Amino acid sequence: MTTKTLLILRHSVLDGPGSLEGYFRDAGWHIDFVEAPHDDLSRIDPLAADLVLPLGSGLSVYDEALFPFITAERTLLQRRLAAERPTLGICFGAQLIASALGERVYAAPQKEVGWYPIELLPGAEASPVRHLAPDTTPAVMHWHGDTFDLPAGTTRLARSALCATQAYARGDHLLAFQFHPEVTAANVEGWLVESSFAGEDRAERIGTLRRDTARFQPAMQAGVARCLDEWLAKLP
């Protein structure tokens, strides 16, 4: 049997694939990493891998004037999506996919940082995202300050109190999450160090994020595994 290949587009050492690396390796996938800010994205065949996964980033999609790799990565994703090749996006990756499909990415009215539930929307009950319903996945990790308009031809599958689109899909070949399904305690610790927060409630916020990660991460990881098991089985 031919080994399936996963191409991960990584944007920083702090924004890795987390638990998803082990998930895909255990499932027998071969993983190739591209360091998007440093590698020549124009030399990558956007259609070659069985699945492409753009990860999160501390940058914004509209930072492309300062970081030209964003434009190159959008072009790669545009070509892949036009060919309806399987693509999975996380946070910045989900925003960049929306941009590649012609939609606007912009600063959200309020940053969303922490463990909060998502609400499934009509259509989600027939999609793999149903495995992330609040009754089995009480909370997922959010860490973003931007949002985006829903791309034409996609289905909005989930939202949260602060974000209108937390998951969306197009056919069987595209699935994107605004939240962080990959996050581990190590990921969170790295983000805490990087952000450090400010203000009198700094220690309280950091403590809450650590406690909530220990509390909610196992259920989220189990739900994400069920979601991906089903989605990957349907890939064209």
Which residues participate in catalysis according to the annotation? Answer: 91, 180, 182
Residue with tokens 């996938």: 29
Interatomic CA distance for residues 173 and 87, integer angstroms: 6
Indicate the burial class of 211 (C-beta count within 10 angstroms; 0-12, 13-18, 19 or more): exposed
Of 66, 9, 209, 228, the closest CA to residue 131 belongs to: 228
**Residues 49 and 210: beta-carbon distance below 8 Å:** no
- Per-residue 3-state assignment (H helix, E strand, C coil) for 22-54: HHHHHCCCEEEEEECCCCCHHHCCCCCCCEEEE
